[in-house]
Amino acid sequence: MPAFLSGPLAVAVRVESRKLVDTRSARWLLLAMILVGLTVIALAAGLAVERGGVLEVSLLLMGLALPGAIVAPLLAILSVTSDWQHKDVMTFYVLQPRRLAILGAKYIAVTLFATAVMAAICLLAVLVAVVLAGFSSLEVTYAGLGQGLWYAACAVLIGSISGAAVASALMSTPLAVVVVLIQSTVADLLIGLVPNIPTSYVQSSTFSNFLSEGGEVLPALSSAVIWILVPAGVGAWRHRRRDVN
């Protein structure tokens, strides 16, 4: 086996990947992600068939970003906080005292896993579109397919990383879930209501919008620092320093 695959980080990534699916709660979350994805595909295809119109695959894929944006952060939160919640850190931090290697492995495992699941759902969506094109009167267009895939990928990537960052800073499953839900639903709206501040610099969606659609660099960087880098830094510091009692 090559050295980089048997090193401490690679070993930790394999362990963390396995932990994402080896408990009932993790499997339910995965199932939820798949079910929401399938529902989006079925709804989009059903509506298009009913109206006898055009099914744009790129729009379908953008729709799939929704389950990715919701479930990926939850998966990340569960991965980062579960060890503390169940005191599993007492086993894993003893076997790998370099705690940041384990935290880093969690980021990598969640991101890879969520991306792989989303890729599978996207592939299924394209297959559904191909079948509909062949067996119905529906017109299926593939224009902007790459853009749609990129949009879904960004949603999953940013959702995973920001979810893991917030969870690592808060080190509490319920608190992290509440913060991430507020962040992804009402936080940007509330920030938009505050007068006399450059809202795009502060809103969490600025960075994801920049990645998926382009835009100004500075507000995107500011958004990434506030919602990802700062929580990730705080989380790394807390994980490294916190006593396990």
Q: Which of 19, 37, 114, 187 binds another protein (CB under 8 A)?
A: 19
The 3-state secondary structure of 163-213, one letter per residue:
HHHHHHHHCCHHHHHHHHHHHHHHHHHHHHHCCCCCHHHHCCHHHHHHHHH
Q: CB of 120: closest distance to another protein in angstroms? A: 24
- By three-state DSSP, how is residue 22 classified? coil
Is 25 a binding residue for another protein by CB under 8 A? The answer is yes
Is 21 a binding residue for another protein by CB under 8 A? The answer is no
Residue 189 to residue 166: CA distance in whole angstroms: 19
Q: Which residues ranging from 61 to 100 are in contact with another protein (CB under 8 A)?
A: 82, 86-98
Q: CB of 172: closest distance to another protein in angstroms? A: 17
The answer to whether residues 106 and 81 touch, using CB atoms and an 8 Å cutoff, is no
Is 173 a binding residue for another protein by CB under 8 A? The answer is no
Q: CB of 8: closest distance to another protein in angstroms? A: 8
Residue 59 to residue 176: CA distance in whole angstroms: 30
Which residues are bridge partners to 172 per DSSP? none
Q: How many residues in the shown chain lie near another protein by CB under 8 A?
A: 29
The residues of the shown chain that bind another protein, judged by CB under 8 A, are 6, 11-12, 14-15, 18-19, 22-25, 82, 86-98, 241, 243-245
